[in-house]
Structure 1
Amino acid sequence: MNKHQLILCAGLAVAMLGTAGCTRTSEPEQETEAVQADQNLGQIFEDYYEARLKLFPLEATAIADNRYNDQLPNDLSQEHIEQVRQLYQTYLDKINQVDRSKLGPQEQVSYDIFKYEMQISLEGLEQPALFLPVNQFWGLPITMAQLGSGSSNQPFNTPEDYEDFLGRMKGFSVWGDTAIANMRRGMGMGIILPRALTEKVLPQLQAMAVDNPEKSIFWAPVEKLPESFTPAQKDSIRQAYTKAIQEDVIPTYKRLHEFMRQEYQPASRSSTGISGIKGGDDYYKYLVRYWTTTDMTPDQIFEIGQQEVARIRSEMEKVKEQVGFKGTLNEFFQYVNDNPKFTPFKTPEEVLTAYRQVEQRMQPQLDKLFGITPEFKFEVRQTEAFRAASASAEYNPPAPDGSRPGIFYVPILDAKTYNVVGMESLFLHEAIPGHHYQISIQQEQVGLPRFRQYSWYGAFGEGWALYSESLGKELGLYTDPYQYFGRLSDEMHRAIRLVVDVGMHAKGWTREQAIQYSLDNELTSREAAVAEIERYMAIPGQALSYKIGELKIKELRQRAEQELGDKFSISAFHDVILKGGVMPLAVLEKKIEDWIAEQKKS
């Protein structure tokens, strides 16, 4: 069905000349109405996205739109929050004036996503996030260092690029003062970080508070001034960056560090979960809905998590028996962690080559599972040394203009200790067909509104990546039982999250209880378990998105297989999911139901 097809007024019973039926306009008139409605909607989306980029210039930089590269709004200020609120409310009012029934199928999906986004975003502005602007996992103090290092989205190619970032360094100083003011207000209201997290933030801030500007990570772009710059340009940039780092950047990190050390740490709470702050229970319920894009309750998610942990654990036991290991499952975890045969590498390049070989092995099967593939280029790279110690494997999306490929970053602190178990599932998740396929195809879709091309919903995006891990056997991988065990371990990791996240934030679990639950049920070290649990403490609800999204995609695939029988095509199913980009799970479910109905007719 295309958007110009006749729109019937379903659900209405209108008496006409004594006959029950529905009123219709002529087909050309209806077609004109549909086209006009689609065009009006498209203008709303475009106007919204342009207005949004002005308020969120870091998002513009991330998609290689360089118009606002000098700007860093103080997003913690009441003025900025009110501007954002006005944006969402204005466009919610506009979308509510659009007659959804007059839209084509694709535009109805866009309508539903957009309306959801405006509503959930408005609700988010009522939450206490502005009083918790700093944690050890993410926030502007970390983002600024990544941008300023020259290895992230901020470009440093022209003299104008260097001039732009001076504006952001100035803006960071203003932001830092507001962050301190907001955290003080939070302390007075009982909205404050757990002490365990404050203790992790302090060394991060201290590391940035160097005495010599040339020792700062923000000096790195100055070390790499392009040869094409004139001596006068180079000298001017060096002087400007020395001044900005000395007067704006370093003092901001110092002020943040001193405040958190002297005032914030002594007042930090001893409780673990977000329920320990004023209004924390309601805030967590919102975060659960925000991150999962569902109306599931914490109790429902906790129950699903326990069921999944038990199921995956039984699968792990089967692999343990298959390889003939005598001992408990926890002893098997230890064996896989410690046995030298699982650490065969000598150099970082050998690790990267092994990942490239995973792609080569599954390449012949990809065409059977996918009708569309990304045009954007893809690379496997080692994570830069300056951030490798605290980084996890990750995918960095391509620039829409093709100037930057999709990159699968692999942190390799010591190649000789890099464990081969789980490499296949990690590649499927972070690279192909996980994040690289999903994000690249989303960006490449001609006709999608820009707010959809560059949007992100973790339940869909991370759900897809975790679902991609389950495709390993269909792609010719997991032939080695230890690689399959690595896959189960990764799935277990996401199932555990459902239990410990809800446990800490809604059921009174302590940090130590959550750490122990992880150690009892997955292939991990204590150090890694602590880092993960503290991540969930810092960003409640985010870790729920992976498993909830994966389970929904699996459920929809099973429903499609059952209802379509011989008409089911796995590549067509994957394509219809990927072509639309990320969306709330309820919108995805409706979209797949409509697709199933269309396939039945064909």
Structure 2
Amino acid sequence: MIRKISTLICLTLLFVACKNEAKKENGTTAEVIPFNDLLDNYYEEGLKLNPLGATFSGDTRYNDQFPNALDSTQINTVKAYYQNYKEALANYDDSSLSESEQMSKAILAWECDINLETFEFKNFQYFPIDQMWSVNLMMGQLASGASAQPFKTVQDYSNWEKRVDGYLKWLASAEKNMRQGMKEGYVLPKSLIVKVIPQLKEMMQPNLKEHLFYGPIKNLPSDFSAEDKKKISSDFSKMITTKVIPAYTSLHNFMANEYLEAGRASSGIDAIPNGEAYYQHQIKLYTTTNMTAEEIHQLGLSEVARISSEMEEIKNQVGFKGSLKAFFNHVRTSKDLMPYKEPKEIIDNFNAIYATMQPQLEKLFDKKPKTAFEVRQTEAFRENSASAEYNPGSLDGTRPGIFYTPIPDATKYNVYSDESLFLHEAIPGHHYQISLTQESTELPQFRKTLWYSGYGEGWALYSESLGKELGLYTDPYQYFGMLGAEMHRAVRLVVDTGMHAKGWTREKAIQYSLDNEAESEAGITSEIERYMANPGQALSYKIGQLKIKELRAKAEKELGDSFDIREYHNQVLETGCVPIAVLEAKINSWIEAEKK
């Protein structure tokens, strides 16, 4: 994430650094603040850099802010933030720190290094908008009034108007940067641009009361005075008609014409300047390992072969006589696996899955989060390009964790993988991992909102393998769904590296997926385009899952009868989100301690 730090803070840090250097020259010892104070300062200053992150965590102090992360001044202050904290860490010797503090030091060092590496590339500047990952989609969620941005007081409504002003400056910068990117060879593939255009057009909705940004006005609190209601409604109407719609119209027209015409035919990130080095950076960022693209590609091929053999067994179990590829088509198109007519029926099914597994949870987990949990349908404006996802609850637990599932057409919704999907996105996947981290009384604040995809998505995919232990997968099609979900992540290792490092086209990646998994062609196409928009992210799931399974197997073997699955899960979850190497060192240390 790009974060903001004030010039005053930068100058203060610079003054302290110069003051300490002067003390060293005079033969005196520099003053060093307590290590935990350093961590707290890093967290607090980070909130100013990332006010949207603060809002999602439940911190309301910066709800009116939207820093322009594309502005050169902001970029320089962010660099200074990470560089200063990286240098500050050198003042703390590991021998003076507790085991937990040593882990925090290693994590903070990783944070500073990986973020500073990101600034060596121009991608974040020249690719500010895509069909799936960019901040305009997050702002759409907030604008609806049904997400993390609160709309409970008059001040809340005022905060949002100010935040929108900052956001529209960002939108203008995004268009400017994309124009410059076109000149330097940084442009999205055409196949992605055509998915962004209708998303932007949706925000040009001329019917004011149907506009997404009008959502908070439809739910004005009843205790507002008539005068406040009138003023807020008028202000929001003016904001939408004179600011929001014109900004989106400008960007839409640019992307639908000049940018689309310039869009590239290539699929992989290696086609842009310095693309090969950028992809290796992305692998490191998302897997938190130093694996190469070729190593990951070969691992993917191996995993695809292994999972295929298990799929053959399920195919035979249900009595299907054709090939595995024919069975994929059977699963994709079976009307028996598309039993619903209304979105509510699908939401009810996920809640029923939770009810089935609930009695078994205590066998695997002796800790459960206090944060509430909900299942919701993905909002219509982004539903056609969205995947199922989890949005964390607030740090104080007042806002629930939400599992969003897209349902563009309930009659075509296939249920064969719903049990594994719930385990991944909801419980015990993302909801347990993130909520327990946020609720921890042991972790420093900065570690409660960190996200390392290798660990977080690795845990969620590992959670899918717990289905039988939790009373699920009694239907062979649901177990096949679990295998299908694992195959989906194995296929990602092949197609992501294929497109971004081996010259594969979008079409070749789609065909490879169709040949090896049972997802629909529309779903697979959306997924492939997702990988095109964010190279490397899709690799994190399988890399992390395999490491967590490997560490569990090692603990079971070395601890024998004394192995407790609940304690193993505690050990994995209590650290919060960490780089894979940090987790492995921690679990190995725990195993050795348990043996003694």
1:328 counterpart (323, 331, 338): 323
Instruction: Write out per-residue CA displacement over residues 124-161 of structure 1, whole angstroms, 9 at most, x where no aligned residue.
Output: 11111211111111212222211111122111111101
1:514 counterpart (509, 516, 530): 509
2:534 counterpart (525, 532, 539): 539
Larger-Rg structure = 1
Pair 1:54 & 2:70 matched: no
CA distance in 2 between partners of 1:451 and 1:363 (Å): 31
Note if contact 1:443-1:453 (Cα within 8 Å) is conserved in structure 2: yes
Q: CA deviation at 1:408?
A: 2.1
After TM superposition, the structure 1 = structure 2 runs for residues 279-318 of structure 1, keeping only pairs within 5 Å, are 279-318=274-313
Aligned residue in 1 for 2:374 = 379
Note if contact 1:391-1:411 (Cα within 8 Å) is conserved in structure 2: yes
Query: Root-mean-square deviation (CA), in Å?
Result: 1.6
Aligned residue in 1 for 2:475 = 480
Note if contact 2:468-2:474 (Cα within 8 Å) is conserved in structure 1: yes
Note if contact 2:407-2:413 (Cα within 8 Å) is conserved in structure 1: yes
2:574 counterpart (557, 575, 579): 579
Q: CA deviation at 1:48?
A: 0.8
Pair 1:193 & 2:188 matched: yes
Aligned residue in 2 for 1:112 = 106
Pair 1:359 & 2:354 matched: yes
CA distance in 1 between partners of 2:401 and 2:171 (Å): 32
After TM superposition, the structure 1 = structure 2 runs for residues 550-569 of structure 1, keeping only pairs within 5 Å, are 550-569=545-564
1:222 counterpart (217, 225, 238): 217
Q: CA deviation at 1:413?
A: 3.8
Note if contact 2:385-2:526 (Cα within 8 Å) is conserved in structure 1: no
Aligned residue in 2 for 1:32 = none
Aligned residue in 2 for 1:95 = 89
Q: Secondary structure of the residue that 2:67 maps to in structure 1?
A: coil
CA distance in 2 between partners of 1:414 and 1:188 (Å): 40
CA distance in 1 between partners of 2:379 and 2:409 (Å): 13
Using the size of structure 2 for normalisation, the TM-score is 0.92
Q: Secondary structure of the residue that 2:468 maps to in structure 1?
A: coil
1:500 counterpart (495, 500, 508): 495
Q: Which segment is superposed worse, 148-157 or 293-302?
A: 148-157
1:526 counterpart (512, 521, 544): 521
Aligned residue in 1 for 2:170 = 175
Note if contact 1:395-1:430 (Cα within 8 Å) is conserved in structure 2: yes
Q: Secondary structure of the residue that 2:61 maps to in structure 1?
A: helix
Q: CA deviation at 1:215?
A: 3.5
Distance change >3 Å, CA 194–CA 386, structure 1 → 2: closer
CA distance in 2 between partners of 1:156 and 1:364 (Å): 37
Q: CA deviation at 1:414?
A: 4.0
Aligned residue in 2 for 1:231 = 226
CA distance in 1 between partners of 2:389 and 2:261 (Å): 35
CA distance in 2 between partners of 1:351 and 1:327 (Å): 30
Give the partner amino acid of 1:68: Y
CA distance in 1 between partners of 2:357 and 2:573 (Å): 19
The sequence identity of aligned pairs, in percent, is 53
Aligned residue in 2 for 1:41 = 35
2:405 counterpart (397, 407, 410): 410
Aligned residue in 1 for 2:11 = none
Aligned residue in 2 for 1:30 = none
Q: Which segment is superposed worse, 375-384 or 323-332?
A: 375-384
Give the partner amino acid of 2:245: I
Note if contact 1:61-1:69 (Cα within 8 Å) is conserved in structure 2: yes
After TM superposition, the structure 1 = structure 2 runs for residues 389-428 of structure 1, keeping only pairs within 5 Å, are 389-428=384-423
CA distance in 1 between partners of 2:188 and 2:471 (Å): 46
CA distance in 2 between partners of 1:281 and 1:224 (Å): 49
Q: How many residues align?
A: 565
Distance change >3 Å, CA 519–CA 381, structure 1 → 2: same
Pair 1:254 & 2:243 matched: no
CA distance in 2 between partners of 1:339 and 1:515 (Å): 21
CA distance in 2 between partners of 1:387 and 1:407 (Å): 16
Note if contact 2:197-2:256 (Cα within 8 Å) is conserved in structure 1: yes
Give the partner amino acid of 2:70: L
Q: CA deviation at 1:198?
A: 1.4
Give the partner amino acid of 1:165: W
Gap regions ≥5 residues in structure 1:
1-35
Distance change >3 Å, CA 509–CA 116, structure 1 → 2: same
Aligned residue in 1 for 2:449 = 454
After TM superposition, the structure 1 = structure 2 runs for residues 199-218 of structure 1, keeping only pairs within 5 Å, are 199-218=194-213
Aligned residue in 1 for 2:9 = none
Distance change >3 Å, CA 260–CA 412, structure 1 → 2: closer
Q: CA deviation at 1:384?
A: 4.1
Q: CA deviation at 1:417?
A: 3.5
Pair 1:71 & 2:90 matched: no
Distance change >3 Å, CA 260–CA 345, structure 1 → 2: closer
CA distance in 2 between partners of 1:512 and 1:78 (Å): 37
Note if contact 1:172-1:249 (Cα within 8 Å) is conserved in structure 2: no
Note if contact 2:131-2:195 (Cα within 8 Å) is conserved in structure 1: yes
CA distance in 1 between partners of 2:198 and 2:391 (Å): 26
Q: Which segment is superposed worse, 544-553 or 562-571?
A: 562-571
CA distance in 1 between partners of 2:196 and 2:378 (Å): 22
Note if contact 2:151-2:216 (Cα within 8 Å) is conserved in structure 1: yes
Q: Secondary structure of the residue that 1:67 maps to in structure 2?
A: coil
Instruction: Write out per-residue CA displacement over residues 83-132 of structure 1, whole angstroms, 9 at most, x where no aligned residue.
Output: 10010011111112111122111111111111111111111111112111
Pair 1:85 & 2:86 matched: no
Note if contact 1:395-1:407 (Cα within 8 Å) is conserved in structure 2: yes
CA distance in 2 between partners of 1:410 and 1:209 (Å): 25
Q: Which segment is superposed worse, 346-355 or 400-409?
A: 346-355
CA distance in 2 between partners of 1:335 and 1:314 (Å): 18
CA distance in 2 between partners of 1:224 and 1:378 (Å): 22
CA distance in 1 between partners of 2:378 and 2:178 (Å): 33
CA distance in 1 between partners of 2:524 and 2:410 (Å): 21
Q: CA deviation at 1:281?
A: 0.5
